[in-house]
Amino acid sequence: MNDRKNEEEVSEAQISVHWKEENYYKPSEKFIAQANVTDRKILERFGIDNFPGCYKEFADMLDWYKPYDNILDSSNPPFFKWFVGGKLNASYNCIDRHLPKYKNKTAIHFVPEPENEPIRHITYQELYVKVNEFAVLLKDFCGLKRGDTVTLHMPMIPELAVVMLACARIGVIHSQVFSGFSGKACADRVADAKSKVLITADSYYRSGKLLDHKEKADIAYNEALKRGQEIEKVLIWQRYPGKYSARTPLVEGRDFIVNDLLKNYRNAKVEPEKLSSEDTLFLMYTSGTTGKPKGAQHSIGGYLAYVTGTSKYIQDIHPEDVYWCMADIGWITGHSYIVYGPLALAASSVIYEGVPTYPDPGRPWRIAEELDVNIFHTSPTAIRALRRVGPDEPAKYNYSFKHMTTVGEPIEPEVWRWYYNVIGKKEAVIVDTWWQTETGGFLCSTVIFMFNCPGDSQYETGKYRTRSTRYISGYL
């Protein structure tokens, strides 16, 4: 263990120095059989000489109410506009268009932290119903309309995805605050976004404890008021429908239980708004660790096209895949690669409520085994933690990953090798990505592609390799 501890104390400067390449790691036959990227000209297709025309390929993955007139308007830098003149809806692209073929397929696997609670499998049809009902509630009960902004301070429960997609459906801008942030931090973002509605939950689990989350809403209300912004309504989802689990009492006339309100909107429907490509989908604030939080504003067309395209080509997501991004939706990774990207591709996306190492280090691998997860996405920090507390745990469970993504920071060689050899069982391809809140999607990444495609007369298994390229950010 001492050696492992020393290996984990490698500085970012040391990691950033390219170490000698020891060998190539070829994908498993299962990956080769269905990989999205089989064109040997992929780097040429998305190279700088084909910019910005290459992003038509990403836009064509979406359904448009009105085709765009121009891929990129760069006349007023740095305020670039993507897919100018086009009209679309993110909620429609993530749900409605999949119903004819995939309505009975699971859209979201919700894994509660307590292992004695069953996993919830929400189909695309069920998601469609829930999103519509809540969207109508937002319009009728809250009086929200296209262009308004609401702040979300929700934990990792499936209702968070429901709220985001409901907002997107009616053109309301959502601004999710990481649930671990304080009420004061939430208030900062409420005041900056000028939100009149706060959507939250009564409680959620963390390391085996059911936390009172509602108390943060009271703090957020009071602090926002000091900043001149009044929250008119607080909508509260119940962790256990029909039971209020927080110790903090409700404030009459301001606080409303969503689960009770929804009884008035059973099976209500609302047509998706036909929104401009340049309309805002959401605000995402940076953490504020290096100064005042910055609000990144992401427009619908460029953002959705980019996360859909990168989900397909970088993460190799197909509709039949079960994909688990072990991030929090409160961060940009969760927005892009738990909700919008995977659902736009009709995949099944896993949402896990709590701590990956609770009640023991084998928890992630039991989840992967039960759900047959085949794409895994996490950070080097999480990989180091899993390696530290349960280095031999993955071998105990019967799961098989074809693809694993890393994100957020550099990963040192020894940790990478453990990720490949132990978690990936020497079968999964590893893709390392770099990006940030402001870009909304992978900015630089390794790309898995084939020198020779199956069926090619020159096909040689040994020539399947991980190559590095740089993707151009598609919507800043």
Stretch 44-63: mean pLDDT, rounded?
93
Reading the block at residue 434, the tokens are 């770099």
Q: Give the 3-state secondary structure of residue 275.
A: strand
Q: Distance of alpha carbon 128 from its chain centroid, rounded?
A: 18
The alpha carbons of the chain give a radius of gyration, in whole angstroms, of 22
Lookup result for tokens 């990144």: 296
Cis bond before residue 78 (omega within 30° of 0): yes
Confirm whether 278 is domain-assigned: no
Residue 374 CB partners (closer than 8 Å, separation 6+): 321, 322, 323, 400, 401, 402, 403
Distance CA 135, CA 172 (A): 9
Reading the block at residue 402, the tokens are 């074809």
pLDDT tens digits, one per residue of 275-316: 999 999 999 998 877 778 889 999 999 999 999 999 999 999
- Which residue segment(s) compose the domain that 464 sits in? 1-94+299-476
Both 269 and 304 in a single domain? Answer: no
Both 144 and 215 in a single domain? Answer: yes
Both 30 and 169 in a single domain? Answer: no
Both 54 and 152 in a single domain? Answer: no
Confirm whether 10 is domain-assigned: yes
Distance CA 412, CA 13 (A): 10
Both 267 and 312 in a single domain? Answer: no
DSSP 51: T
Global pTM reads 0.91
Question: Length of the chain in residues, anyone?
Answer: 476
Helical ranges in 298-379 per DSSP H: 300-313, 332-334, 341-344, 363-371
The CATH number of whichever domain residue 445 belongs to comes to 3.40.50.980
Domain boundary among 273, 308, 328: 273
Lookup result for tokens 């309504």: 233
The CA-CA-CA angle for residues 283, 286, 292, to 5°, reads 110
Q: Assess contact for 326 and 111: CB atoms under 8 A.
A: no
Q: Give the 3-state secondary structure of residue 105.
A: coil
Distance CA 448, CA 462 (A): 14
Both 268 and 305 in a single domain? Answer: no
Please report which confidence band the pLDDT of residue 10 belongs to, taking 50, 70 and 90 as the band edges.
Answer: low
- What integer pLDDT is reported at residue 24 of this predicted model? 64
Confirm whether 284 is domain-assigned: no
- What integer pLDDT is reported at residue 453 of this predicted model? 43
Number of domains in the chain: 2
Residue 195 CB partners (closer than 8 Å, separation 6+): 149, 150, 151, 175, 229, 231
Both 238 and 323 in a single domain? Answer: no
Q: Are strands 233-237 and 197-201 parallel, antiparallel or unpaired?
A: parallel
Element (H, E) at 285: strand 280-285
Confirm whether 7 is domain-assigned: yes
Both 251 and 304 in a single domain? Answer: no
Please report which confidence band the pLDDT of residue 423 belongs to, taking 50, 70 and 90 as the band edges.
Answer: very high
Q: Assess contact for 204 and 213: CB atoms under 8 A.
A: yes
Both 312 and 457 in a single domain? Answer: yes
Both 345 and 261 in a single domain? Answer: no
pLDDT tens digits, one per residue of 214-268: 999 999 999 999 999 999 999 999 999 999 999 999 999 999 999 999 999 999 9
Answer whether residue 462 shows pLDDT above 80.
no
Domain boundary among 273, 288, 309: 273
Q: What is the dihedral of CA 141, 146, 152, 156, to 10 degrees?
A: 100
pLDDT tens digits, one per residue of 113-130: 999 999 999 999 999 999
Confirm whether 431 is domain-assigned: yes
Domain boundary among 257, 273, 289: 273
More confident residue, 161 or 430: 161
Confirm whether 290 is domain-assigned: no
Confirm whether 280 is domain-assigned: no
Distance CA 447, CA 391 (A): 28
- What integer pLDDT is reported at residue 2 of this predicted model? 44
Confirm whether 291 is domain-assigned: no
Q: What is the dihedral of CA 360, 361, 363, 366, to 10 degrees?
A: -120
Q: What is the dihedral of CA 216, 220, 221, 226, to 10 degrees?
A: 150
Both 257 and 136 in a single domain? Answer: yes
Q: Assess contact for 443 and 306: CB atoms under 8 A.
A: no
Both 184 and 48 in a single domain? Answer: no
Q: How many helices (H) and strands (E) does the chain have?
A: 18, 22
